[in-house]
Structure formats: structure tokens, C-alpha cells
Structure 1
Amino acid sequence: MSAPSYASVLRVPHASRTFGAALLGRLSYGMVPLSLLLSVKEATGSYAVSGAALACFGATSVTLSPVRAGFVDRHGPRRALPPMAGAYAVLLAALAIVAASGAGGAAGLVALAVAAGAGTPPLGPVMRVLWGDLVPARLLPRAYSLDSVAEELLLVTGPLLVGAVVAVAPPAAGLGAGAGLVLVGTLALVSSPVARARRGAARPAAGTPAPGAAPAPGAAAPSAASAPSGVLRRNPALRQAVVGAAGVGVCLGALELLVVAFADEHGAAALLPWTLAAMSAGSAVGGLAYGAVAWRAPGARRLPVLAAALGLLLAAAGLAPHPYVLLGCAALFGLFVAPGITTAYLIADESAGPGDRTKAGAWVNTALNAGTASATAATGLLIGRVPLPLCFALAALPALLAAGALVLGNFRPLSPARV
């Protein structure tokens, strides 16, 4: 019997419509950061203010992601997403207007960025939950791989679109385009029959197992959570997914900055975009190939292997003698990026109760983004202070430690709480 194809995923009733709507809205996330940076820089003339506005936008977007996802779990996407998307679009439009007019000042622009980040609708986690409603279990790994690859391509496409916009209009127009994309995409998503059918989940009493929760392979079924943090605190499998996602994020954030330093050191600035493109291409190929395999080992066993591979490849990239060798290392590194992200999301979804699936995915997303941001900041402090090969090795260490922690978590004897 042949393995199902990616076309078979998209042929599932309502899958293409729902996925296309989610991608349209998520394209905004690829456009807004660069548009925000350029708009605030043009309005204030200050890189410090533009950097602060972008950092504050990202901080509120990432840290409040589980809260917004919990709201979707409680009330359902049809009721929860339109108000979020509407508020987010209005705040982005206000930010664009204020930046274009130059009337808000630095404090006003940063405040609007903070508010906009707080309202970012969790379209990615919602789409991953809807995949579970759309496709049978045998197609879910392939659907998640397709989703991860598409999301990464959007993050590459978004800045290219911003470049096209600023060639003919002020950078604030990119913010306006992002506002329109997220609003149209969200409304199209919630109009899909599968999104309309998903209702908010009632909260069970504290300590009561979530009905119908499917445990992740190799992990115990979680208890339902009544407190906002309970979905993470009472779910060992989800904690493993979060640790693995953070390890992947650290590798991503570090490599993107380290290849810049490597290019500067070797006088190969022209190869920089090709190196980053090679990593993205490798991730797309790896994600599609990974989703095409019917894996026998459970995700809890695969995730530490993928995290360790990323760490080892990152450390090895620091020994590259030539920029062309680094380009090849980046492509090989990319092969494991989308599979690592996909596996973490699969574990989170399989381990969560029906009333916490969006929030579980949001925790993985938060860990991935937090790992990327923290690694970028830490790597920036290392570069110039220690030799570059050592920077690569030190940046790889958190991923290797995460892999070790995952192995210990998977193979140690289960306590009664985890049985």
C-alpha cells in the first residue's frame, strides 16, 4: 500500500479552502515585522526606537500567545478570532497612520506596537487544531509537515513583498497591507465549515481527566487544566515538546546571526542571502520528506534525535573553511528544522485534551520564538568576544542539552502521576 500523498491531504473536503485562508492571514506575520521596523525608523530617524518598537511588538505577541489561544479554546475560533483580528488590524492601521504622519512620537509608536502585538490572532495554532478535525490520523503528520513548510515559506515571502511595497510606497503601506491580510484571512478562515463546526470546550473540574484526550506516543495522558498554566504544568509530553521547540529555536536564532558574522569575517557578504536561502530550501525539502515517511518510532523518541542533529550540525558549521562550505552546512542544517518543529507540534496536539489543543500548540510556538529571540541576543554578545568557531559551538550547546533532557524524560521510569 503506497503512502498517502500531499495532494490527498488537500483533497480532503474543505482542507484547501481552510488552509488557504489561514495562509493568507499568516502572510501578514511575514510582512509586519520588517514593515514595522522600517516605518518607525522613517518616522523617528532612530534605529534604537525602531528596534525597541519591534522588540516590544514581538515580546507581547509571544508571551501572550497561550492566553489568546486559551480564549480560542474556550469560545471557539468563530467567536474568538474575528474580534482579535479586528483589533489587531485596527491597531496596525493606526500604527501605519501615526508613523506616516510622524505625529505620535517615539513613545506613541512603541505603545501602539505593544498593543498590536498583544492582539495577534493565533492563526497558526488554530489551523493545526483544524487539521486534526479535517484529516484522519494517518494523514495528520503529513498535514503538519505541509503546514510547517508553508509557514516557513511565508516568512521568506513576506519580507520580499515588503521590499516590493517600499519600492513604490512608504513603509507604512506594508503595515496597512498586513492589517488587510490578517483581517481577510481570518474572516475567510472562520467562515470555513470546519471552523464553524468547532465550538468552545467546556472546562472540566480541576483534576478531572479531559474526555477523549489522546496521549502522545510514549507519554501519559494529561490531566485537564483549570488554571491557565495547567495545560503545561500537568502535561509531561507537552513540556517535552516545549523543550524540543526551544532547542530548535535556539539553533535557528543563533545560525541566522552567525552566518552574518561568518560572511563578514570571510569577505563574502554576497553569499549571505544565498546561505540563508539554502537553509530555508533545506528546511522545505526536509519537511516534505519527513511528512512522507510513516514513522514507526513515536514523536517522543524522534524529537531528541532531531534536536541533537541540529545542535551537532550547528557546531560543525563553525569549522567550515570556506563560505561555500558553510552554505552546504546551512542546507544540511535546514533538513532537520521543519521536521523538528513538526514533531513538537504533533506531540503537543496528541497530548492535549480537547479543550486545550490550541493553547498546547501556542506553547510550542512561544517556546520556538522565545528560543530564537534569546539565542539571537546571546549570540550577539558572544560575537567579537570569542573566536567564531567557539561561538558556533556554544550556540549549539542548548540544543544538545535539550536533547539530553528529552532522552532522560523519555526513558526514566514513569512515576504514578505519569502513568
Structure 2
Amino acid sequence: MVGPYKGLFERPGAKAFVLAGFIGRMPMSMLGVGIILLISTLSDNFATAGAVAAVSNLAFAVAAPMSGRLADRFGQGRVIAPIAVLNALALTALMLLAGSELPEWTLYAAGLVVGATSLSIGSMVRARWSALYGGSGRLHAAFAFESVVDEVCFVTGPALVTVLATAVNPYTGLIVALACMLSGSLVLASQRATQPPVQAVRTTSGSPILIPGIALLACVSLALGAIFGSVDLITVAFADEHGIKWAAGFLLASFAGGSMVSGLWFGSRIWRISLRARFVRALALFSVGLVPIMFIDVPWLMAAAMFLAGFAISPTLITCFSLTERMVPPSLLTEGMAWISTAIGLGVALGSWAGGHLTETYGASSAYGFSVCAAFAAVIVGIGGSGLLRLPAAPSPSET
């Protein structure tokens, strides 16, 4: 590690929780695509596949702040393990039901439980970084690194689950996702020394979502999630239309790959402009970068376009989580981070549902129009409400 990343892992336990968090976080990029591949392969119905994925993401969106609040109140170590075990059982049930002759509603029920018991591991890892480096310039580099870890998951996860589901059998990708979730979560739960200290709640706000700036960030994150959810499903259909369904994961990996590259660069810089300015500029760049994917019908050109479109993802998410960390009281930090993940999850649910129905009706290329519209909605909301994101002067240029 060089530049701002140098010495980031010198604190005891930092490497261990980062590695555990990486493994436990892999399913976030595998579950949606894995569920879509499993159900669409067995039923040949993208609408049902997208709807089940949407139900799962919707349940995650509702439940994630609750698990975050429990982690703030009782400590991550006491909360992660039992929820992870329940999630493993629910995902196993979903896979068994997908291959059965039982009514379709059972898939939705299982998907709901899978989402409700999915942990926001990224939020919990970021809360650990905040406990280590809160108030210092290193937190910017730590959040940038976490965004890169997210994108590594999104580069490798979709490709891995697609190859496993198409080359081995439709269940294998989800089985690997289950193994990663359970092992990573249990190892993270065992690392009590680096978990954020349990603090008494000293705020009367009730929940971080009632803070105007956090509510605005959640609205923008909702639109971002709609982009991610719709692009995931539509890209699988795009590859299927071109007879290369096996390549869907690699197309999605291009999208995340652009974000990973930009995340490394973004985190290595000492910024002189404010977090608020970085946030709205990254949003605007993201919306413009997505436009070409509506007009491309050649797979290799699509991969290049998605790589370029992904360049603004990491800067947007890094600044979003940094703004959240600055605006949320320490006693509600994990819950505050979880609300952003919740909004993204809710958007992913909306995007999966809309993407499935639009793809069935109009085809993949036209359905990408929904993703572009969601991007421009994020820009309008983000810029229009940017006054709510003004922060007090920070002690270092890298924190403002």
C-alpha cells in the first residue's frame, strides 16, 4: 500500500476484519444474479426471477437498519452470528423450493426471509474503520479502500456466480455465496476487539433517517440502487439475447471494474473541494456515463461502455458514506451506515422488478432506459437538496 493507504492496516486486528468482511460481503454481488439465473433457468421467466430478487432486496432494505441498531446497542459480535445462521437456512430453503413443484408464492416467501436476514456487512466494517480512525484524515482512505473492496466483490462475484450457474449447475453459484456469507460473518463476529464500542444513545432523534441530510442521501441511494438492480437483470437478459448468457457476469464485472479503478485513484488523492461538491459532481458524471449503454448492441462494445460508465460509482459511494459518518451521532453510526445500504437495497428491489418487466415487454436494450432515468433522478435530487449536506469545517482537507 502506498500514499494515503500506507499504514492503514497498522492497527491490531485491521487486516483480520477487512479479510473477514470481504469474504462475508461477497454474496451482496452474487445473490441477486444467482437468484435470477437459478429461477430463469428453471422457469424460463425473467419477470418471476426479477420479482423474487426484488422481494429479497426489499426485505433487506427494511431489515438492515434494525440489525444495524441491534449492533449499535449490543455489539456486532452478539448480533452477527445468529442472523447469519438464519440467513444460511433461508437461502437453502429458497434453493430447494426453486426446484420443486410447489406454488410460486413459496419462492417469494423464501426470498423475503433471505433478504430479511441478510446483514449489511459493509456497514459494519465501515463502522469499525470509524472506530479506529474517526476524526482523522485516514478515514477518507479507509472508506475509499472499502469502496474498492465492494467493487472487487462486484467484479468477481457476478462472473463467478454466472460461470458456476451456467457451467456447473444453476445451484452452485448460490451454494458458494452461502458458504462465503456464513464463514466470513462468523469470523467477523468473533473479532470482538475491533468492533465499535457499545454506546448509550444520547440523541433524541430516534433514528438517523430523521436527520435531513441522511434522508437526502437515502433518497439518492434509492435511485442508485435502482440503477444497480436494473443493470444486473437487464445485462443478464442482454447476454441471453445475444446467445452468450455465460458472459453476463463478465459484462457486470466491467461495470464494477471501472468503479474499482476510480476508487483506488479517488482514495489516493488529498481533496481540496468539499465532500458535498465531490458528491454532486460524481453523481452528474455517473448519469452522463450511463447514456451510451441504451444504444449499444454489440457485446464487446457494451463491456467497454459499462467499464467507462462505472468510473463514477466509487467516488459517489465513498463521499456518500463519508457524509453519513460526519452527520450521524457515534451511538447510531452502524444504523446510519445501514440506512444508506437499506436505501440502495430498496432501489435494487425496484430496479430488479422494473428491469424484469421492461425486459420482457421491450427487450434489454430499451429496458436500459430505466437505468438512465434513475441516474438523472439521482442527480436532480442530489443537486436540488445539496444544501442539506453542508458540514462544519474539517481539520484536514482530506476530510472536507
TM-score by length of 1: 0.77
> Contact 1:253 / 1:373 at 8 angstroms: preserved in 2?
yes
Note the C-alpha offset of 1:186.
1.3
Question: For 2:175 and 2:240, how far apart are their aligned partners in 1?
Answer: 35
Between stretches 164-173 and 305-314, larger displacement belongs to 164-173
d(CA) in 2 for partners of 1:260 and 1:159?
A: 10
Residue 367 (structure 1) aligned with residue 343 (structure 2): yes
Q: Which residue of 2 aligns with 1:194?
A: 193
In structure 2, the residue matched to 1:151 is 150
User: Which of 109, 112, 131 is the aligned partner of 1:111?
Assistant: 109
In structure 2, which of residues 131, 135, 155 is the aligned counterpart of residue 133 of structure 1?
A: 131
* Partner of residue 215, structure 2: 239
1:401 aligns to 2:370 (yes or no): no
Q: Distance in 1 between matches of 2:35 and 2:379?
A: 34
| Cα distance in 2, alignment partners of residues 57 and 390 from structure 1 | 24
Q: Is the 8 A contact 2:54 2:353 kept in 1?
A: no
Q: Please report how far the alpha carbon of residue 278 of structure 1 lies from its aligned counterpart in structure 2 after TM superposition.
A: 3.5
- Alpha carbons 1:286, 1:336 under 8 Å: kept: yes
More off after superposition, 87-96 vs 27-36: 27-36
Contact 1:258 1:392 in 2 (8 A): no
Shift of 1:180: 2.7
Whether contact under 8 Å (1:10, 1:16) holds in the other structure is yes
Q: 5+ residue gaps in structure 2?
A: 391-400
Task: Return the offset for 1:273.
Answer: 6.7
How large is the Cα RMSD of the aligned pairs?
A: 3.8
- Structure number with the higher helix fraction is 2
* Pair 184,302 (structure 1): closer, same or farther in 2 beyond 3 Å: same
| 1:29 corresponds to | 28
**DSSP 3-state at the match of 2:104:** helix
* Greater RCO, CA 8 A, separation 6+: 2
CA distance, structure 2, for counterparts of residue 268 and residue 99 of structure 1 = 24
CA contact (8 A) 1:301 1:410 kept: no
Distance 1:326 1:42 in 2: 23
Which of 288, 308, 315 in structure 2 is aligned with 1:332?
A: 308
Give the C-alpha shift of residue 409 in structure 1. Answer: 3.6
Measure how far apart 1:304 and its partner are.
Answer: 1.2
**Equivalent residues of 1:314, 1:393 under 8 A apart:** yes
Q: CA deviation at 1:353?
A: 0.9
CA contact (8 A) 1:90 1:179 kept: no
Residues 18, 257 of structure 1: alpha-carbon distance in 2 compared, 3 angstrom cutoff = closer
Question: Per the alignment, in what secondary structure is the counterpart of residue 313 of structure 1?
Answer: helix
Whether the aligned pair in 2 keeps the contact of 1:76 and 1:201 (CA below 8 Å) is no
- CA drift of 1:60 comes to 0.7
Q: Which residue does the alignment assign to 1:279?
A: 255
Does the 8 A contact of 1:99 with 1:109 survive in 2?
Answer: yes
Q: What SS is found at the alignment partner of 1:283?
A: helix
Deviation at 1:28, TM superposition (A): 2.5
Q: Distance in 2 between matches of 1:52 and 1:103?
A: 18
Q: Distance in 1 between matches of 2:389 and 2:133?
A: 28
CA offsets per residue over residues 20-64 of structure 1, 9 Å max, x none?
001111113333334334444566676555444322222211222
Counterpart of 1:358 (choices 324, 334, 350) is 334
Q: What is residue 220 of structure 1 aligned with on the other side?
A: none
| Alpha-carbon spacing, 1:253–1:99, altered in 2? closer, same or farther (3 Å) | closer
Q: Secondary structure at the match of 2:118?
A: coil
Q: Write the mapping of 1:20-419 to structure 2, written as runs, cut at 5 A.
A: 20-40=19-39, 49-99=48-98, 102=100, 104-135=102-133, 137-166=136-165, 170-195=169-194, 197-204=195-202, 210=203, 224-226=204-206, 230-233=207-210, 235-253=211-229, 276-315=252-291, 328-375=304-351, 377-378=353-354, 381=358, 384=362, 394-410=373-389
Q: Quick one: structure 1 residues 104 and 9, their matched pair in 2 at CA, closer, same or farther if it must change by over 3 Å? A: farther
Deviation per residue, 1:65-119 (Å, 9 max, x gap): 212211211211011111111111122233334445x265433333222112111
CA deviation string 1:151-192 (max 9, x = no partner): 122133223333454467543344343333222211211222
**Identity of counterpart residues, as a percentage?**
24
Structure 1: state its 5+ residue gaps: 205-209, 211-223, 412-419
If the length of structure 2 is used for normalisation, what is the TM-score?
0.80
Post-superposition shift, 1:377?
4.9
- Structure index of larger Rg: 1
CA distance, structure 2, for counterparts of residue 273 and residue 181 of structure 1:
18
